[in-house]
Structures are given as structure tokens and as C-alpha cells.
A and B are shown apart, each in its own frame.
Chain A
Amino acid sequence: MRNITTIAKRELGSYFTSPVAYVFLVIFLLLTGFFTFTAGQFFERGEASLSAFFGWHPWLYLVLVPAVGMRLWAEERRAGTIELLLTMPITPWEAIAGKFLASWIFLGIALTLTFPVVITANVLGSPDNGMVFAGYVGSLFLAGAYLAVTCLTSAMTRNQVVALILSVVACLFLILAGFNPVTDLMVRWASPAFIDTVAAFSVVTHFDGFQKGVIDGRDLAYFLSVIGFALFATSIVLRNR
């Protein structure tokens, strides 16, 4: 546990000693603002809810989360520091968990900084704050799932751009499997059971519940298993370096 903390601390520190953290935070907040208030028509909806805010998250994270996670292992491989890290008296799991947690905490910080949206909704009306909370929990797990996928692609290459592209494609699949326009296309040739099975793999299907204010154990289990599976695959990739 101590090793995980040490690694997470270093990793988190390196976001803030480089411009990455600040550039990311500014862009993330600008984009959430734009999508919520302009594209999401927050005011025109005339309802005190954050659906205009959370609805965009699967798409917003699609590029932004891989951008945060792409360096985790790719940079270690490029700089050769992976050799230093993995010959320290720590288990590979501690390194994987430490790095993942650092980036997840960073994304959590970014998400926390969107609090003005909540305040705005509370000033203008009286939203169901339990629903808002559930939305935040879901959003954090959504980010975690994307991040774990990015860890995996980052471990596969020493090139951050390759890691970025691979994880965007993988995460796009996780969205599209349950995205209505796509599932509607499948209706013509696939059985409903098949479509449901495919959709069950999608982050959108499982994120929906949180947006409606329901923290369902099954949805949590889904996100946790995506994270667990991707990190497990990361450990296999690292072992076969």
C-alpha cells in the first residue's frame, strides 16, 4: 500500500510540474461549459437538472481521458525509466495501481472543479441533488473505465500518440455498442437479445442509470470489471515486455 501511495504521489506530481495539468484543466472546464450551456441548451430546457451536463461526458471523455492517461506507461518505456521502476522492490501490481490511481485522482480533481455548474442549477432552481451526486459518481467511474483502457494501450507502445489513438478507438467502441443510432441500425438484422447483449458492453447503457439518479450495483460492477479487466491485461502486457 505504501508503495502504491509513493508511486501515485510521484505520478500526480508530474502532472502538475508540467503544463499538462493546467492545459487539461482549462480545456476540460471550457469544453464542459460549452457543451452544457451552449450545445446542451442548459437554460432553454427550463428544468433544474444536470442532464445537459452529464449527457456529454461519454463523448467529452473520449478524447480527454486518453490524453491524460496516454503517457502513463508509454513515457516510461520511451525514457527507459520503466526499467528502473520495475527493478525496484515493488510488485508490478503496485506500479499499475499507483499510476492508475494518480490519473484517476487527477480526473476527479478536474470533475470536482465543475462545481459551478451545480451551484448555477441550485441558484436557478431546485435540482434533485441526490441525482446530481449519482451523476458525479457515474461520471467518475466512466472516466475510470476509459482510463483503465488507456493504461492498457499505453503499456503496449512507447509512442504516446499511438496509445492515444488506440484508446480513443477502444473507448469509441465502448460508447457505440450502446449508442441508439447504432443499435437502431442493428435492429434490421439482429435479434433483440443480441442487440441487448452488445449494448450491455457499452458504457452509455450503464452510465444512463447514474444520470437518472440510480446507483445500481450492476452498473458499478460493470465499471469495476472494465477497470479490473483492463488493468489485469496491462499487467500481462508488462510481463511480456
Chain B
Amino acid sequence: MPEPFSSFTSKVIPLPAENVDTDQIVPARFLKVTDKAGLGEALFRDWRFEADGSLKEPRFVLDEPEMAGRRILIAGDNFGCGSSREHAPWALVAWGVQAVITTSCADIFQGNALKNGLLPIIVDPERLAQLFDLVERDPNVELSVDLESQVVHLPGDEDLPFNVDPFSKLMLLRGTDEMGYLLGKAAEIDAWEAAHPARVDTRPT
């Protein structure tokens, strides 16, 4: 279960690519794990390393020394498209990323991220372009993410408001997960099932 999501301030990791798919975030060969440990090392593996294990030259953005410890990723449209693998947000969180600012996330990725304490912050294309410009001008610019108030504080007292699903927001702020909520619906589920016979039986015929 994730920790309660609190406000934080961080410099940013710029990744100005569109349609970053989950095969890039965690290549499939790292999906043979049976737990969640060690996935930070798999993050963007094939964009970071050559076949012989050496770092790519020029280095992928995550491997630039000044990127260490940064917790906000800024990415192009449709981040996290493709495979449903939850290993993608697991790996981002293991690396230390807590928020992804983009113009849209793929639906399954967005749901997976929110369940793991990773906040997708969806902004319009003009604001995203401004943010990329800001980071280009000042690579060490610091942003503050305030989920409670649903704003990203930019330098110069500028605020960037964002929308978030109210239920997901509550879960994030409490550091709780949806399982408890669903288990709390047991009476409703029992009643529904009593009125709706099973559609299929999967046991061998």
C-alpha cells in the first residue's frame, strides 16, 4: 500500500517524447518477476543501455548526473500507452518518480499509476509546451506539487491548476487502496449476486 501522498517540491526530468509506451518504460523481458522488487533498474532499460550493458551516448535523460533524486517527470502526449503491465508504474515509483506531467495518459496506465502513489497531472498542450520551455531555459527549475489544492506551483508565484478524479485523490491523500473500499461493499455485492445468476462456469466440463 502506498504512503499518503503529501505535497513536495522537486526539479524535473524532461522527456519530450509522445506516445511513450509501457514496453519502453519496462521491456517485456523484465516481466518474469513474481514480485515488485528491483524494477527500478528495468526502467527505460533499452533507452538507457547499449546491448553490451554500457550507458548510451549521449546518455538517456535519467542517466544525466543532475537528474538523480528528481521526482517529477514531464512527458509528451499519451504517456504509458500499450501494454497493461503495472510493472511500468512500479518501476517509475521504484526510481523515485511521484508525478508525471503530460497532456494525456493511456487509460490503463493512468489507473495503475493512481493505485501506486504515482500522480498523473494532465495539462493542456500550451501549458505543457510552456513547461518544456521553462525547463529548457532553467534545467534546475523547481516545481511544487500540491495534490490537496490540485495545483502545481511554478516559479514567480504562478499556479498551474489540474484536475484529478476525486475518489483517486482521496485514496492518494489517505495512502489507502481501493481494495478496502471494495471489500466494504460486500453486502451490496452479495445482494447483486443473489439477483444475478452466474453467466458461466469455468470449471472443466
Mutual binders A and B = no
**Chain A: residues with CB nearer than 8 A to chain B?**
none
